[in-house]
Structures are given as C-alpha cells and as structure tokens.
Amino acid sequence: MKDLILNAALVVIVLTGCNPPPKETATTPPDLKTQAETLAHTYIITDGHIDLPYKLAKEGYMAKGEIPNLSGEIDGNFDYEKAHKGGLDAPFMSIYIPASLQKTAGASKALADSLITMVEQIATTYPKHFSLAGSPTEVQQNFEKGLISLPMGMENGSPLGDDLSNIKYFYERGIRYITLTHSKNNLICDSSYDPNRKWNGLSPFGQEVVREMNAQGIMVDVSHVSDSTFYQIMAMTDVPCIASHSSVRKFTPGFERNMSDDMIKMLAKKGGVIQINFGSTFLSQKSRQLYDSAKVALNTFKTEYPQASDSAITAFSNQWLIDHNFFADVKDAADHIDHVVQLVGIDYVGLGSDFDGVGNSLPTSLKTAADYPKLIAELLERGYTETDIEKICYKNVFRVWSATLSAAGKS
C-alpha cells in the first residue's frame, strides 16, 4: 500500500484496470532469455515485499474465513502459478497496517494478528505449494522440496503499540522484519510521507524498538521512514538493515520515499541491502509527473461530467495513462540496480517488487511474479555475471537476514 494509494480513492480510480500495450523495446537475444529462465529456477529468488495478505483482506476473504485458490491463478500480481513460472521462491508476505488504525487502541495489533493467521492458513491449506519460513535455512529446505516459502514482514510498527514485549510476540508469530512506520508518524518514528515531523527522527521509544528488534532477531526495515529517522538508525546499530521496497532517489528527485545516494552508501557501509521497488512512480520521474497530471485530468473530467458512471471514469483514466505513456519499463528497474551497483557494489542490492501493493502502476514487462526472468535477462544483457545475479536474487538479503538472527543468538 504505497504512494499510489496515499492520495485516497482518486488514485485507486486512476490506476485500476490499466492494461497498456507493451513498449517497443529491443528484443532480448534468445540465448539470454533461456539463460535467464534457467537462472530464475536454479537460484532462490526472494522478494522483500508482496502485499497479498492485505489485498485478500480487502477483497473480503478474511471476513469469510476462507482462502482463494492460490494453487492456481487469481487476479493480481502474485499466486502460485505466477510465482512458479517466474522462479519466485521466498516472497516476504507484507503484514500491512494502514496508518488510520493507529488512532484506535488495539486495532493495529488485531489486524496484524489476523493477517498473520491468514498467511498461516495459506500454508496449511496448500501444503504442496507453500510453507512458512523463519530463516534462510528454512527457505533453503523448502526450496529443495519444491515449496514456495512465505516469510513475513510487518509494514508499519504500530501494532507494537507502546509495549516492547510485542516485538518478541511478533517474532514468535513469524515476523522477520518490521517497517517502522508507513504513511504517518507513529509512536516509533517519523514517516517520509508525513510533512509534520513529530520526532525529528526516532522517538525515545523508537530507539528502544530498534535495540529490541536487534535483540530478538527482527530485521529493521528503513523503507517509509524519514531521512532523519534513517540516519539515526544507522548511528545507533551495527546490525545491518534492509530497505524492503525502496528505489533510488537519483531518478526521482525530491521523492523522499526513495533513498538518496548518501543513504545508500551509509546502508551499504553498515552491511545493509536496498531492495528495488518496481512501481513506475518509484522508478521514473516522468511517471511521477504524469501521475500528478493524471489526477488533475481526472478531476477536470469529473467536474465536466458529474453524472459519469464509474466505468466511464475508469475508461477515461485508463486511456489517459496509456495515451501519455505513463508506465516505466523493465529497463528502468535495471537502471536502479545498475546505479546501486556502481555506487556501492553488487553486495547491497536486491528485489522488493511491491507486487499487489502498487496496483497496475507496474512497469511493462514487470507486471506479475511470472516476470522475474525478464529482469534477469536485462541484467545479463548488461553484462552481469551469474554470480552477480545470484547475489541480487537472494544472497545479499540472506546475508542480512542471517546476520540479524546471529546478532540475536538465533542463527
């Protein structure tokens, strides 16, 4: 649930249902396509952020107490068939908590618990397809059995409330990273999206949270936090951190949600990893500018045609985005990876698609979990070695994950 839904229903309307024609791009040589497909199924692929649980909750599955047929294909970016085709082996299921629930005591924790239970139910309902995983070792074991692992990360630390004991509680429930905040400041820290900087970084409680996460073996996720929060985290911990679904600010100037070059250098110096978000507005300044223009165009349309049906509004929005070439491309995602590698080296970059979280803003050629081989092929075409690809796909993140568990005495 990212910047594409932070501006409320208008944005949802703008992006819903868009299926733009693919861009004309140079054809990847057949041998590289074959090599990419092979590597995608030879190496473990881990993705830092898949928003399937909250998507299913919004669609009413949680209220019904049932899980859709994830062993086949469902609408959206992730399911077993897409993941299997794309070689995705360890998608971190996002336990996403909207900032609006921070105002109601206990609501955040209740939702977190219900979403975790949903992920557990997926694994028990489809044991031949999915399995829970709480460590790189467990992912490897599942991979050898042909199972897709479902590790979990919590997006927004608000379910912790003001009680540090909840960190151990959520570790025991399977949470292996916590994104400290989301779209609004919370009790832990300031958000990159919130202009009101309540704490000027971490709160005093937030500093305790970081220490206790280190002690319990939960990775600190710096996606969504303000710049000052990031630097304070870096100053107080030597345990490496992740940015589970952030991209490079160089390509989107002024967008604090992405990471600056200096931040990426600091993250790498501390041994951390930035996992590239695939959303078009994370990858391309042109897409960001067009996104703002699309909202203006939609408002104008609704003013001129106040009786327009929802389908007419959606059709207008879809066509506007297609006509204005809104969507980024797989090459843009590769550009972000390139920049991180040139800046700090191959050991500090990974994948954090934000599938099912950024809707249909996803780039051409990176629309679903079936498409990881297309990104791998693009990287191979740019000269990345198989060893490089292996690090990007999983080894870099596994290093941070293992180091976090080791620091807590849980390796």
State whether residue 270 is helix, strand or coil. Answer: coil
**Number of neighbours of residue 6 by Cβ within 10 angstroms:** 14
Residue 26: per-residue pLDDT: 54
Q: Is the pLDDT at 80 greater than 80, yes or no?
A: yes
Average pLDDT over residues 354-362: 90
Grade residue 353 by pLDDT with cuts at 50, 70 and 90. very high
Chain centroid to Cα 275, Å, comes to 8
Angle at 120 between CA 114 and CA 123, to 5 degrees: 145
Q: pLDDT tens digits, residue range 332-346?
A: 999 999 999 999 999
State whether residue 353 is helix, strand or coil. Answer: coil
Domains and CATH numbers, the chain: 9-14+32-284+328-407 (3.20.20.140)
Average pLDDT over residues 341-359: 97
Residue the block writes with tokens 């969504």 = 224
Residue the block writes with tokens 């993140």 = 397
Structure tokens at 295: 């909202």
Contact between residue 115 and residue 96 where contact means Cβ atoms under 8 Å apart = yes
- Give the rounded percent of residues in the chain with a pLDDT score beyond 70: 93
Q: What string of DSSP letters covers 17-64?
A: T--PPPP--PPPPHHHHHHHHHHHHHS--EEEEE-HHHHHHHTTHHHH
Q: pLDDT tens digits, residue range 247-268?
A: 999 999 999 999 999 999 999 9
**Number of neighbours of residue 398 by Cβ within 10 angstroms:** 21
Q: pLDDT tens digits, residue range 172-215?
A: 999 999 999 999 999 999 999 999 999 999 999 999 999 999 99
Grade residue 135 by pLDDT with cuts at 50, 70 and 90. very high
Highest mean pLDDT among 90-99, 286-295, 297-306: 90-99
Structure tokens at 57: 């909750």
State whether residue 169 is helix, strand or coil. Answer: helix
Q: Is the pLDDT at 3 greater than 60, yes or no?
A: no
Nearest to 370 by CA among 47, 60, 142: 47
Q: Is the pLDDT at 24 greater than 70, yes or no?
A: no
Q: Is the pLDDT at 393 greater than 70, yes or no?
A: yes
